[in-house]
Structure 1
């Protein structure tokens, strides 16, 4: 599905997604990603089952208000022990399917919120 860009051209925006990929600023990515309003980088876990506490704890260095976890075609919720460092720092974690993650991230970045998107492809 193709998404339309907002007027926030200086920020990363999801511009499309489909089975096994997302597009950020018209560039296609096929692996797991961390996306912030200003940065895109690979993320260690390949599958939902690979998630570990360190995957979430390391996000605190990015100082997010909210972390969006995209779990593919269906919503899957990580065990609370995995994200306890985020909770202790009062950082919200919201799990959703990839399409919802893309749309929500775009809205929040346009509002200049400190959001981090975690994209799992499998």
Structure 2
């Protein structure tokens, strides 16, 4: 069997979350967060499309966590991201964290945008 080391660039896994915060790569971030190949930081929510569009060409899929329950994201946000070549998967934030961690461990080209639970 051959094993390959996975390189995450600056992407770090989600280690935990709770009311109003996420812990990613040892860093606690309060409020909405974005994580991916450029690292982890705060996110301005659905109106902050620039931060998400900066990921174009670096990722194939963006997981959008909509808080404690799954909800629709604005249609114009989805259209803008898809027009930029970014696939969008919407789910509740806990599910988005789990899915992101699994695919990150596989070395996939992904990012995460989360609304707190």
Q: TM-score, normalised by structure 2?
A: 0.78
Q: Count matched residues.
A: 109
Q: Is the 8 A contact 1:57 1:85 kept in 2?
A: no
Partner of 2:21: 21
Q: CA RMSD in A?
A: 2.2
SS in 2 for 1:101: helix
Which ranges of 4 or more aligned residues in structure 1 deviate by more than 3 Å? 7-11
Partner of 1:82: 77
Cα distance in 1, alignment partners of residues 103 and 28 from structure 2: 21
For structure 2, which runs of at least 5 residues remain unmatched after alignment?
Answer: none
Check if 1:41 corresponds to 2:41. yes
Q: TM-score, normalised by structure 1?
A: 0.75
Partner of 1:48: none
For structure 1, which runs of at least 5 residues remain unmatched after alignment?
Answer: 1-6, 46-50
